[in-house]
Chains A and B, each alone.
Chain A
Amino acid sequence: MILPGTDVDRETSFKGGRALNKALSIVVWTVISVLGAAAFAVLAWHRGETVSAAWMVIAAVCVYAVAYRFYSKFIGYKVFGLNDKRATPARVHDDGKDFVPTNKWVLFGHHFAAIAGAGPLVGPVLAAQMGYLPGTLWILIGVALGGAVQDFVVLMGSMRRNGKSLGQMAKEEIGPFAGILGAIGIFCIMVILIAVLAMVVVNALKGSPWGTFTIAMTIPIALIMGVYMRFIRPGKVLEGSIIGVILLILALIGGQAVANSSAAAYFTFSGQTLAVLMIIYGFIASVLPVWLLLAPRDYLSSFLKIGTIILLAVGILLTLPELKMPAVSRFIDGTGPVFAGPLFPFLFITIACGSVSGFHSLVSSGTTPKMLQQESHARFIGYGAMLMESGVAIMAMIAACLLDPGVYFAMNSPASAIGTTVQQAAQTISHWGFAVTPDQITNLAKEVGEKTILSRTGGAPTLAVGMATLFGQIFGPGMLAFWYHFAILFEAVFILTTIDAGTRIGRFMLQDLIGNAWKPFADTRNYGFNVIASAITVAAWGYFLIQGVNDPYGGINSLWALFGIANQMLAGIALAVVSTILIKMGKAKYSWVTIIPMIWLLVTTLGAGLAKIFSPVPSIGFFAHARVISGAIAQGKVLAPVKSMAQMHEVLFNDYLDGIVCILFVAVVVLVVLAALRVWYKVLFKKETLPLAESEFVSVDGVSATV
């Protein structure tokens, strides 16, 4: 009980303090803004040989601070009306399992661990071919105005709907048709995602006995953990994980011994063999019981992932390396070897995760909304965690740009562009204007314990060399090979877990989708249907993987574009759903917050998608390329680097397939947006009041009274 008088006293005595605080806050935020602007100026106009990564770090931190302090606050309170008096689903439905009010910081960790993946580590590495500046700008602006906004608003939307998934929200707020389209879209992105990530692993492991041995050992290690946590010490997941991590480090050290022994031959595989092994693994893993392989592997990869991200951050902050990549390279014109297509729109689909990632909308409408303790926490967790993910993308950009540009292009250009010998590669790349000698390439390969580093596309090996270089500066150059393989191990373990879990998710979606037409198939307790649906899912991504390895025009070059388009398309759908919610909430005047990033995503994905379909340039348009190939087939010619007439026909088929997938993506996103527009029109112009599927308001006071 506080006496009225004391309250007034406190008010008056605080008045001066408050004014001071306000002045202080203005000074602090002005300093942060000026500092950020200065860092950007240095990054943009610096024309020396190298520039310090410190500027990139400063620019990023300042953008994050300003965006979080001002923009996320505006979205949270003005636009969405976060209200701590309103009980969150975790408070209303507290069941000790899914719905659990969770400490803000712990939930931040939970959400970040769920959204962080291999994506933000790959995209920026590929985008570095255009120089460090375009990618960095897109990562920072994209996250502040698009990516973090998406994660945050989807989280809030789901929180107000008892933690419903994005698909359910699309169905309830826009219509059942949009729900089914969304489900098809999510299934397709899952298939392409798994294929492209598997491709990354294949490129990192081909001809690398050290890497392959270590990754192979993760299977028995996971089995041991699985048995331990199931039979020996049931449910003791932390003990199991500690055992796993120790065994993993031993396998990593053992890998070097294996690579230097006569056993190396048993672990040296071609890309083709690795792809087949990956497909067999994916299928078996996805039909085994989860306690045996998936769960232990998931725990291992979660720990490795967070550990590696922390290590990388520490490495960068301790060394603040010099960036050797130019600010803007000549390849913004679209002639670059790493991915085809000019800066607009292809940069914006190459860096998806780390800037705007549609996939996050699935996580933000998953476990996190069920664990929020208070509505206001959604801001720190939804917006904040995505800023941190963007920071991971910035670190990947730094790791790629600290390499000699010549080395970067040697690692990231396909063999069709730079040939298969170091002499050819060094000559071609130097000719592009990035001086590099054959010795430089050979020596680096030797230092990291590999036979060759040529054409190790897919980002992971480049990131690994970057990380190894950073740690080499801290711990001395002797352990370069160890750090390189540690980084490869981390990405590969993480990706193999995604392959297993993603195949299971794809299987469920497929059973659900086919269940719409034929009910019995949706029964997930039927082991036979499970196996069939798993097989279809594995076959789908397996085909794209095999295509990526065999087809000289396939691989990261064409798959990553498809993945980027799919991921950004999903973000467009998510933003359309939330815009619909805002308009139905009567907040149409603020709906630009989600509509502007939605339009930008539509422009870039449709721009890239339509270019992939209609561009007359064969290196960009799938059908233009198909015309070149079919013309050559008609004349009976085999175009290098294709090796045979049969392969020419394969290339032709793949061009058509990729083109059709692209048409499918474009069609899905256009249809969902049209369906949303119909709802907006009804609300805004025909003044219909459409029901908002929000759950009922429950006051916090009411909840605490019952518990």
Chain B
Amino acid sequence: MAFREWMRRASTEIKTIFGMPNYERYLEHHRKVHPDQPVMSEREYYLHCLKERYESGKVSRCC
């Protein structure tokens, strides 16, 4: 069980470091702040994040 917990934390941190979408974090935030609103599925959330990161003209990389 401790191993699973460790894996979960490691994956969260890797996702944050590389700017990858983190669905669990989204769900948690959603539950906490606006539980009354409709929730995105994992696929919807994934596509939504990609759009935000790569198709908004924001610079997320360097030379």
A230 touches B19 (CB 8 A): no
Q: Which one of B41, B58, B63 has the highest number of Cβ atoms from chain A below 10 Å of its Cβ? A: B63
1/0 per residue A224-252: CB within 8 Å of B?
00000110001101100000000000000
What distance in Å separates the Cβ of B34 from its nearest Cβ neighbour in chain A?
Answer: 10
Q: Is A458 an interface residue (CB 8 A)?
A: no
Complex: A96 Cα to B15 Cα, angstroms: 14
A360 near B46: Cβ-Cβ < 8 Å: no
**Do B29 and A291 touch across chains, with their CB atoms under 8 A apart?**
no
Please determine whether B50 and A291 come into contact, CB atoms closer than 8 angstroms: yes
A294 pairs with B11, CB closer than 8 A: no
Closest B residue to A110 using CB positions: B17
Q: Return A226 CB to nearest CB of chain B, in Å.
A: 10
| B13 / chain A contacts, CB cutoff of 8 Å | 103, 106, 109
CB-CB < 8 A to B16: which residues of A? 100, 102, 106-107, 109-110, 371
Instruction: Kindly state the separation between the CA atoms of A110 and B61 in the bound complex, as whole angstroms.
Output: 11
Asked if A694 is at the interface (CB within 8 A of a chain B CB), the reply is no
Is B3 part of the binding interface, using a Cβ–Cβ cutoff of 8 Å?
no
The reply on A555 being an interface residue by CB < 8 A is: no
B-side residues, CB < 8 A to A, are 11, 13-21, 23, 25-26, 28-30, 33, 41-43, 45-47, 49-63
With a CB–CB cut-off of 8 A, which chain A residues contact B46? 229-230, 234-235, 237, 291
Nearest 6 interchain pairs by C-beta: A96-B29, A508-B57, A234-B43, A119-B63, A235-B46, A109-B17
Contact of A267 with B by CB under 8 A: no
Cβ distance A697 to chain B, nearest Cβ, rounded Å: 24
Q: Which residue of A lies closest to B17 (CB)?
A: A109
17 pairs, A vs B, C-beta closer than 8 Å: A97-B49, A103-B13, A110-B19, A113-B17, A113-B18, A235-B42, A298-B54, A302-B18, A352-B63, A362-B59, A363-B59, A363-B62, A367-B19, A497-B61, A505-B57, A505-B59, A524-B57
B2 to nearest A CB, angstroms?
20
Asked if B11 and A238 sit within 8 Å, CB to CB, the answer is yes
Which residues in A have some Cβ–Cβ distance to B below 8 Å? 94-98, 100, 102-103, 106-107, 109-110, 113-119, 165, 193, 197, 229-230, 234-235, 237-238, 290-291, 294-295, 298-299, 302-303, 352-353, 357, 359-360, 362-363, 366-367, 371, 497-498, 501-502, 504-505, 507-509, 511-512, 524, 563, 567
Chain B nearest CB, measured from A188 CB (Å):
14
Cβ B61 vs Cβ A237 within 8 A: no
In the complex with contacts A110-B17, A235-B23, A291-B47, A501-B54 CB distance below 8 A: yes
- Report the minimal beta-carbon distance from B3 to chain A, rounded to whole angstroms: 16
How close is B53's CB to chain A, nearest CB, in angstroms?
8
Contacts known (A234-B42, A234-B43); A114 close to B62, Cβ less than 8 A = yes
Please state if B63 and A498 are interface contacts (CB–CB under 8 Å).
yes
Query: Inside 8 A of A235's CB, which chain B residues have their CB?
Result: 21, 23, 42-43, 45-46
Given the interface pairs A290-B51, A291-B47, A366-B58, the reply to whether A118 lies near B20 with Cβ below 8 Å is no
- Contacts A110-B19, A237-B15, A238-B15; is A115 near B62 (CB within 8 Å)? yes
In the complex, what residues of A have CB within 8 A of residue B60's CB?
114, 363, 366-367, 501
The answer to whether B63 and A100 have CB atoms under 8 Å apart is no
**Number of CB contacts from chain A to chain B under 8 A:** 130
Q: How long is the Cα–Cα vector from A451 to B17 in the complex, in angstroms?
A: 39
Pair B29/A504 contact, Cβ less than 8 Å: no
Contact call B63/A357, Cβ cutoff below 8 A: yes
How many angstroms between the C-alpha atoms of A36 and B3 in the bound complex? 43
* Chain B residues closer than 8 Å to A193, beta-carbon distance: 63
**CB-CB nearest in chain B for A240:** B20
Residues of chain B within 8 A (CB-CB) of A118 are 63
In Å, the complex CA distance between A95 and B47 comes to 18
Residue in A113, A115, A511, A567 with the greatest tally of chain B CB atoms within 10 Å:
A113
| Smallest Cβ-Cβ distance to B56: which chain A residue | A508
Q: How far is the CB of A102 from chain B (nearest CB, A)?
A: 6
Instruction: State the Cβ distance, B35 to closest chain A Cβ, in Å.
Output: 13
> Which B residues are CB-close (under 8 A) to A98?
52
* Chain B positions within 8 Å of A295 at CB level: 50, 53-54
Contact of A501 among B17, B25, B42, B61 (CB under 8 A): B61
Whether the pair B62, A119 counts as a contact (CB closer than 8 A) is: yes
Name which residue of chain A comes closest to B28, CB basis.
Answer: A96
Q: A106-B16, A508-B57 are in contact. Are A353 and B63 (CB under 8 A)?
A: yes
Which residues of the other chain, A, contact B14 by a CB distance below 8 angstroms? 238
Question: Inside 8 A of B45's CB, which chain A residues have their CB?
Answer: 235
Bound Cα distance A237, B63 (Å): 24
Minimal Cβ-Cβ distance residue in A for B63: A119
List, in ascending order, chain B residues with CB within 8 A of A303's CB: 18
In the assembled complex, how far is the CB of residue B28 from the closest CB belonging to chain A, in whole angstroms?
7
Find out whether the CB atom of A237 lies under 8 angstroms from the CB atom of B17: no
Look across to chain B and name the residue whose beta carbon is closest to the beta carbon of A193. Answer: B63
Q: For residue A161, give the distance in angstroms from its CB to the closest CB of chain B.
A: 15
Q: Which residues of A contact B62 (CB under 8 A)?
A: 114-117, 119, 353, 357, 359-360, 362-363
**How far apart are B50's CB and chain A's nearest CB, in angstroms?**
5
Return chain B residues, CB-CB under 8 Å to A298.
54
- State how many angstroms separate the Cβ of A286 from the closest Cβ of chain B: 10
B61:A97 contact, CB within 8 angstroms:
no
Q: How far is the CA of A563 from the CA of B63 in the complex (A)?
A: 10
Distance, CA A378 to CA B21, complexed state (A): 23
Chain B residues with CB under 8 Å of A353's CB are: 62-63
CA distance A353 to B52 in the complex (A): 27
* Cβ of B58 to closest chain A Cβ, rounded Å: 6
Residues of A within 8 A of B54 (CB): 290, 294-295, 298, 501, 504
Smallest beta-carbon distance B19→chain A, Å: 7
In the complex, how many angstroms separate the beta carbon of A526 from the nearest chain B beta carbon?
13
Complex CA gap A197/B59 in Å reads 17
